Amino acid sequence: METVFLQTVEIWNWLIDHLIYINLILSIIIVFFQRRDPKAVWTWLLALYFVPVFGILVYLLLGQDMRKGKLFRIKEVEDRVRYSAKNQEEFLKSHDISLVSSLSRDYEDLVLYNLETSGSVLTVDNTVEIFTDGEEKFKDLRMELSNAAHFIHLQYYIIKDDEVFDSIIPILIERAKAGVEVRILCDGMGGRFMPKDKWNLLKENGVKVGIFFPPILGRLQLRVNYRNHRKIVIIDNRVGYVGGFNIGREYISKDTRFGYWRDTHLKLQGGSVLSLQIRFALDWNYAAGENLFRNMKYFCEDEDGSCLDFLGVVDITDENKHLGIQIIASGPDARSRQIRDNYIRLFSKARDHIYIQTPYFVPDDAVLTALSVAARSGVDVRLMIPCKPDHPFVYWASYSYVGDLISAGARCYTYENGFLHSKGVMTDGKVSSYGTANMDIRSFELNFEVNAVIYDEETTRRLEALFLEDLKVCKEITREVYEERSLFIRIKEQGSRLLSPLL
């Protein structure tokens, strides 16, 4: 015991003696070798020099930028997937965009941007069902899982050991014993409290389990800042789910801390399901080390075994196919902030209104400027956030940024009927984007996220109708209400806002 104590003292003394050199090396790395927002650079430098020892520890745990390393390279099969996108891009450039049914020429550049930057193929043979209540979503999910004939792929950021997961496990085991291939992918942070015996039970019954960035030495997570925040389910390439609901009792409104849980989840059918499948396969290949692309049966469109050539051109000229969707993704492995850039483009194109729902509103300068310019230009910008925090630090930072929007003429609301976890943008009743991404820097920069961009007026208007219905249980944050905040609240807001660039 005494030896360990002496060694600890020696390490501490060495750290103090060499503190200036350690700070200098880390400062050089932050300034010259990492692609960061200037505000984040200054915040990290201040942390290193004003709270040096603590700042070093926090940086080593949270602040490392892994984009330029080889960390995610195993996940890339971009050349294969991009072939499809390149062909479609050339087709769209040489034909009238009006051939794509209800897709307006106004959004042609956004479609092309998504094709060019990440190979997000446009599919137009889709149907969309919208879930806002957790009980209804999981009831429908259990029904579809029970009908699985070939494979089940589930990916959730959070899976908790409670009655919700317990209601799904028997179905997964039964389907696995019936010969259906079942895979579950969970984030290492989001599933950190799941007991090993529960995972082992699934594995023993034929279910494959993958953990994205698993913890080491119990629950120690060295990559805590990089989280796979995606929630995707694909069943037989026949149906897919994407949205905000995780697996846990709070998501079915059973947690008294949050009350009613208001979220948005999409059930997709059509070509967009294959796009979700490709997204799942990329993440699964990295986390589980199993290359799903080696077997095309996972990319079959029909039950008779005929496979859709996802490397070819998706038919976008059939007059019976009209609901356009692009599945877009972002994360620290991406070269661009695709979801963030889509939001900015939608904001700049809006001429009548912009509706936003998000549990966290911590935008970067580009997003905040785009929204402010839209509001000052006469566009009806409305933002809805929760009335209560699940993460107080982020909540107070959000409230600070709300003030900037109010000053620009936007209208901001707090959802008062429980907790708002819905994540989406709707513009002009024409295009909407819903999925897993929050309107915050973490989702734009660090989390692995996925959204569905929906180029369909009928679906977008349904989503907007739900938004307007939610306004009936909201309280508006007027300029007068905002300016009446106490000094203590203002200090918390500004402190949280100052620290928010620590990414």
Q: Is 229 a catalytic residue?
A: yes
Q: What average pLDDT does this structure show over 162-184?
A: 98
Q: Is 391 a catalytic residue?
A: no
pLDDT, position 33? 43
Pick the catalytic residue: 65, 236, 283, 470? 236
Phi, psi dihedral angles at 234 (to 5 degrees) = -130, 130
- Residues 286-299: pLDDT tens digits? 999 998 888 878 88
**Domains defined for the chain, CATH in brackets:** 1-63 (no CATH), 124-310 (3.30.870.10), 336-500 (3.30.870.10)
pLDDT, position 91? 67
Question: 398 vs 224, which has greater pLDDT?
Answer: 398
What's the CA gap between 442 and 229, in Å, rounded? 10
Pick the catalytic residue: 421, 440, 456, 492? 421
Q: Which of 154-163, 306-315, 483-492 has the lowest mean pLDDT?
A: 306-315
Please tell me what DSSP assigns to residue 351. Answer: S
Phi, psi dihedral angles at 323 (to 5 degrees) = -90, 105
pLDDT, position 106? 82
Percentage of the chain exceeding pLDDT 70: 72
Q: Given a cut of 70, is residue 90 above it in pLDDT?
A: no
Burial of residue 72, with CB atoms counted within 10 A of its CB: 0-12 exposed, 13-18 middle, 19 or more buried: middle
- Residues 238-275: pLDDT tens digits? 999 999 999 999 999 999 999 999 999 999 999 999 99
- Report the predicted TM-score, pTM, of the whole model to 2 decimal places: 0.84
pLDDT, position 425? 98
Pick the catalytic residue: 137, 153, 160, 231? 231
Q: Given a cut of 50, is residue 306 above it in pLDDT?
A: no
Instruction: Classify 98 as helix, strand or coil.
Output: helix
- Name the band, by pLDDT with cuts 50, 70 and 90, for residue 20: low
What's the CA gap between 493 and 487, in Å, rounded? 10
Q: Which pair of structure tokens corresponds to residue 276?
A: 């979700």
Q: Given a cut of 90, is residue 137 above it in pLDDT?
A: yes
Q: Is 421 a catalytic residue?
A: yes
Q: Contact at 8 Å (CB) between 339 and 430?
A: no
pLDDT, position 305? 46
pLDDT, position 363? 94
Q: Which of 138-147, 151-160, 440-449 has the lowest mean pLDDT?
A: 440-449
Percentage of the chain exceeding pLDDT 90: 56
What's the CA gap between 144 and 406, in Å, rounded? 44
Q: Is 265 a catalytic residue?
A: no
Question: 103 vs 461, which has greater pLDDT?
Answer: 461
pLDDT, position 293? 84
Pick the catalytic residue: 229, 321, 349, 492? 229
Pick the catalytic residue: 341, 364, 428, 440? 428
For the beta sheet containing 122-123, the strands, ordered from the edge strand earlier in sequence to the opposite edge, are 122-123, 324-330, 449-455, 431-435, 424-427, 353-357, 380-386, 411-415, 474-476
Mean pLDDT taken over the chain: 83
- Name the band, by pLDDT with cuts 50, 70 and 90, for residue 224: low
pLDDT, position 296? 78
Spatial CB neighbours of 483, under 8 Å, sequence gap ≥ 6 = none
Q: What average pLDDT does this structure show over 403-415?
A: 97
Q: Is 428 a catalytic residue?
A: yes
Q: What average pLDDT does this structure show over 430-442?
A: 95
Q: What average pLDDT does this structure show over 305-322?
A: 52
Pick the catalytic residue: 423, 430, 440, 470? 423
Q: Given a cut of 50, is residue 491 above it in pLDDT?
A: yes
pLDDT, position 275? 92
- Name the band, by pLDDT with cuts 50, 70 and 90, for residue 81: low
pLDDT, position 74? 40
Question: 42 vs 296, which has greater pLDDT?
Answer: 296
pLDDT, position 294? 83
pLDDT, position 43? 54
E strand map for 213-282: 232-235, 239-243, 261-262, 265-269
